[in-house]
Amino acid sequence: MDDDLDRILGDIGPRLRRLRKDRGLTLEALSADTGISLSALSRLESGRRRPTLDLLIPLARAHRVAIDQLIAAPATGDPRVHLAPVHKRRGTTLVPLTQYPGRVQVFKEILAPREQKLVSHTGYEWLYVLAGELRLVLGEREFTLRPGEIAEFDTTEPHWFGPANGSSVEILHLFGPRGEQAVVRTQSKD
């Protein structure tokens, strides 16, 4: 085996351990989730067991990451990212910029005028206005954000956002699985 392959395989165990600990999982919980024995997981994380696809596929599923993220193999081929916009109803366009479920998701969105409907769910959101004006409703409070302004909030608070006027608004939208108390960095609408 060449040195580069040895290094790649040797780095997988510590990477798996960091990922599990970052998610706050015990070996027991991961074993129950994947069906992989405790001893196999322990040996894999400590580097005493060679990683195989039989082990890496259920671990990638359990951690909700792409298998190449577990391996961190050297990049090959074309480094450009080919984005696939999703056209939603009534003129809204969504461009996913990340592809890792269970982690912070990043989207570029062009929001067309739409009906205000407050929603709440688990998570945390960040909104950065690129062009136009964004209207953000958080519970009883309302804000108008302009290009370069950012808002961040806990999504368990009822919220809605969309164009502040009849024109579309272009934003970067980050959504994370965990959140803290809302912090909004803009002025209240008068």
The CA distance from 51 to 43, in Å, is 10
pLDDT surpasses 70 at 168: yes
Contact at 8 Å (CB) between 62 and 55? Answer: no
pTM: 0.53
Q: In which band, very low, low, confident or very high, does the pLDDT at 146 lie, cut at 50, 70 and 90?
A: very high
Q: Residue 177 in contact with residue 102, Cβ under 8 Å?
A: yes
Q: Domains plus CATH for the chain?
A: 3-71 (1.10.260.40), 86-185 (2.60.120.10)
Residue closest to 20 by CA, chosen among 49, 44, 48: 44
pLDDT value, residue 179 = 44
Q: Is residue 127 predicted with pLDDT exceeding 70?
A: yes
Q: What is the pLDDT of residues 96-119, one digit of tens each?
A: 887 766 677 888 999 999 889 999
| pLDDT value of residue 28 | 94
Residue 115 in tokens: 């009906």
